[in-house]
Every structure is written in structure tokens, then in C-alpha cells.
Amino acid sequence: MQLACPNCSTTYQIAATAIGASGRSVRCARCQTVWFAPSPGVIPAVADLPAEDSAQAPPQEMASAVSEYQMAGAAEQPWRLPMPGVATWLALLGLASLSTALAYIVFFQILRRSGATNVMLVTLLIPVTAILLGWLVLGEPISVREIAGAIVIGTALLVIDGRAVGMLQRVA
């Protein structure tokens, strides 16, 4: 088994039995960095990645906002429109803070704690959540096609997750 120090990238060739079934802390002989080495066959969690990886969200969001502002300004020329009212500004503030900023925070926390596979599973729930919020908040009707789509998404999530398939295999 090969281990690499996350700090200085020094590699070590060790026996897999030295790590054990639950993994263990190891120290780099070159830079003295200590890190946790998982047991062979275990994929490291996203939480083991450096913190600077999750610090990319705010700059990405700011760059996106700047580019969207430039495109909207060029296309719509908002300075020619009347000033929006308080309700419009509050709606814009709600969209910016809840639908975008909070969503990014939740997304990266799920990524950090549960890994990329679970984040992908959560993103598949976005259409179902939008339909349910439209029904609850705006009183929009839910059609049979939307219910069928939610069932397809739910079934796909169960298959992708693998726990339901594993339970069925144990029963059979």
C-alpha cells in the first residue's frame, strides 16, 4: 500500500496490515505532519480534504454575480426603467440570501460531511422540492405527471443509494 503525505507529498510504501481495519494516524518522517490514513479499500471523505477547497464558493459566486450584472446591464439597460418598489427589493434580497447564499452553504456542508455521491443525490431532489414549495407557498396545483416524475426520482435515489438493493439481496 502506498501513502503520500498531504503536506510535502513524500510517498511511503507500507504493508496494508500496518494500517488496520479502522485506519490509523501516521506521521511523515520528512515534515512531521500527522494525518489519518484510512484502511485499504475505504474512500477518504471530503472532510479530509484541505479547508481551502470549500473556500472557493464565495469567489465563484461573486464572479458569477459580476458577469451576470454586466450581461443584464448590456441587454436590459436598467437605468432607463423606473426604480423598483420595496416588495421587489425584498424579493431580490430573499432570492440572494436564501436561494443562493444559503444553498451554497448547505451544498458545501453536505459535500464536506457526506461526500460527492450524497451531494449528487441531494441535487436530484431539487425539482421535487420546487414542486412542493410551489404547492405549499404559492398554491400551485400538482399534476399527475409531476407526481410520476417525483416517484421516478425517488426510485432512482433508492437504486443509486444502494441500501434498498442491498436489503432486497439479503432478503432473497
Nearest to 136 by CA among 124, 144, 125, 128: 128
| pLDDT bracket for residue 53 (50, 70, 90) | low
Instruction: Give the C-alpha separation, 129 to 98, whole Å.
Output: 14
Tens of pLDDT, residue by residue over 113-123, are: 877 877 888 78
Domains of the chain: which residue ranges?
A: 2-44, 57-171
CA distances to 15, 19, 73, 78, 93 from 83, rounded to whole Å, are 69, 65, 15, 9, 16
Asked which of 55-59, 66-70, 111-115, 126-130 is least confident by mean pLDDT, the reply is 55-59
Question: Which helix (H) or strand (E) covers residue 26, if one does?
Answer: strand 24-27
Question: Which helix (H) or strand (E) covers residue 88, if one does?
Answer: helix 86-94
**What local confidence, expressed as pLDDT, does residue 51 receive?**
54
b/e per residue 52-78 (b: at least 16 CB within 10 A) = eebeeeeeeeeeeeeeeeeeeeeeeee
User: How close are the terminal C-alpha atoms of the chain, in Å?
Assistant: 36
92 pLDDT exceeds 70? yes
